[in-house]
Amino acid sequence: MKNYKVCVYAIARNEEKFVNRWVDSILDADKIIVLDTGSTDNTVNILKERGVEVHQKTFKPWRFDVARNESLKLIPDDYDICICLDLDEVMADGWKNILLSSWDEDTTRIKYTYNWSFDEYGNPATTFLANKIHSRHNYIWTHPVHEVLTPLDYEKEKIVPEIIINHYPDKTKSRASYLPLLELSVKEDPEDDRNMHYLGREYMYYKKWDDAISTLKKHLKMKNATWRDERASSMRFIGRCYKAKGDIDSAVKWYLDAINEAPYLREAYVELAYIYYEYGDYPTSYHYLKKALDIENKSKTYINEEFAWNGFIYDLFSICAFNLGYYHEAVDNVKKALMLDKNNLRLQMNLEEMEKYI
């Protein structure tokens, strides 16, 4: 196993409460570099106390890609492997040995397991493969927000799921800059289908239903929008927007389109089932939930959503089954929901009631 030189690098602003946890997880790195972009708390002092090489620079106007490229420039040329790790992320134990044993002379990038969110019990909820471990040269960051590590030339990527990075976001931080930066990103590169999808999703988060619908429809018409998972996600979001507007027929139509686009993904089945559940149509809701549960393998992409894989789906299925007189199915599924949400009193009461019918 060759002793490649590894540098962890990051941009940071007002992350004092995360610094020690972050540094503790990457002590095996040969170098740690942080570009502080304007902290007003104690971030810089704590980083320096922990032996981190800290640089400071502010950016006006703010862009994530510009800041990340400046941080990348700070890494010495003789380093082999770079890990872009935000301060709200943590490397799981043993990462360096796995990395060094996986990296080959011609490797330029590694995909790893990224646990983006966790449930209340600490179990991974949204998990996918990310790829911000890369060679020192031949890469730049592009796009003002939701920035992408872009190869300039040859690229050889390896998948190493044994490397795990956990994300523990600061939920108090504002996302206010994301929408204008996404609008700028689409303006700069109107043919980038990924950015169009993200912009439509952001409009949805802001409850700008009509803007979201029109933008997501634009995404679906783009010649480069060929990834079925993301297309299905746009269709689901359109359905979600129509539902919020009270147009249930259009919502159902778009959820069915999402199912036809990517029948191997659970999410559209579950959202469609919930519409029928809300209207008391238990047979149809049961039908789509059963199809969702037939999908046992969770894909390793960011498209996955927690509600399709946590206790919610079993809870909903148990209620539909109970109302249809399928009491054994109802009990089996409420037990599964309780395994994932063991302190839920309503589920416990449902189980007690359902068991009376067996």
pLDDT digits (tens, 9 = 90+) for 116-138: 999 888 989 999 999 999 999 99
Q: In a 3-state reduction of DSSP, which class is residue 103?
A: coil
Task: Output the pLDDT for position 266.
Answer: 98
Domains of the chain as residue ranges with CATH:
6-167 (3.90.550.10), 178-309 (1.25.40.10)
How confident is residue 12, by pLDDT bands cut at 50, 70 and 90?
very high
Whose structure tokens read 């996302």? 175
Q: How, if at all, do strands 31-36 and 6-12 pair? A: parallel
Helix (H) or strand (E) holding 104: none
Task: Please tell me what DSSP assigns to residue 331.
Answer: H
Whose structure tokens read 């108090």? 172
Task: Output the pLDDT for position 120.
Answer: 84
Task: Output the pLDDT for position 1.
Answer: 63
Contact between 4 and 78 under an 8 Å Cβ cutoff? The reply is no
Task: Output the pLDDT for position 41.
Answer: 97
Give 267 or 3, the one with higher predicted confidence: 267
Report the alpha-carbon distance of residue 286 to residue 224 in Å, rounded.
36
Residues 6 or more apart from 177 whose CB is under 8 A from it? 62, 145
Report the alpha-carbon distance of residue 341 to residue 160 in Å, rounded.
31
Contacts 24+ apart (CB under 8 A), 20-28: 20/46, 20/50, 21/90, 21/168, 22/85, 22/87, 22/88, 22/89, 22/90, 23/47, 23/50, 23/51, 23/52, 25/90, 25/91, 25/92, 26/83, 26/85, 26/91, 28/95, 28/96
